[in-house]
Amino acid sequence: MGTAVLPGTERYGRVTAFLYHEAELLDTNRFAEWLELLTPDVEYRMPVRTTQFLTEGDGFQEFEFFSENLASLTTRVRRLETEFAWAEVPPSRTRHFVSNVIVEESQEPESDALEVRSSFLVTRTRQDLDYQMFTGVRHDLLVGGDERFAIARRKILIDQTVITATNLSVLF
């Protein structure tokens, strides 16, 4: 574990402000602006959570709901901006809640990167469909120093082992 960036410090405040701004962009469907928060080589992954008895054998730790890069995320966002993203016509209304933010200096040598863990709650409603809720933790690598952070890596660990949502078209 790296050196903690303590709550109440200016640097911690900048990280939380960045995360809150990101949540607002996602909740107001400003996806093109959200893409600008990502590095060109971003890794954006959601591994499948499994129960203990399913984690034995080859491959079980490697299943993912999605594993994306900037190109695939850009394609996803561009599609959301058309009427051909049928899973999102009409668009979902989401609310992203971010809490329990832990910020640490990266242990990579000569790096100003920050390792950030945060709990999340994402709610989604669309048309007259059931209200959907996702909870979990995100492991982010933020780069770029304090002036302008960018997300270089995000691993989303969702609490649910079975996702009963109609689709995973929302961004976390």
> 4-158: which CATH number, 3.10.450.50, 1.10.1740.10, 3.40.50.300, 3.40.630.190?
3.10.450.50
Dihedral angle at the C-alpha atoms of 84, 136, 20, 67, nearest 10 degrees? -50
Q: What is the pLDDT of residue 53?
A: 57
Task: Specify which residues 133 forms β-bridges with.
Answer: 123
Write the Ramachandran bin of 36: left for phi over 0, alpha for psi from -120 to 50, otherwise beta: alpha
Q: What are phi and psi of 25, to 5 degrees?
A: -60, -45
Assessment of whether the complete model's pTM goes beyond 0.85: yes
pLDDT tens-place values along the chain, 172 residues long = 789 999 999 999 999 999 999 999 999 999 999 999 999 999 999 998 776 555 555 555 568 889 999 999 999 898 877 777 666 667 788 999 999 999 999 887 667 899 999 999 999 887 776 788 999 999 999 998 767 999 999 999 999 877 777 677 889 9
CA 172 to chain CA centroid, nearest Å:
4
- Only one residue has tokens 């966002």, namely 77
Domain boundaries, the chain: 4-158
Q: What is the pLDDT of residue 165?
A: 73
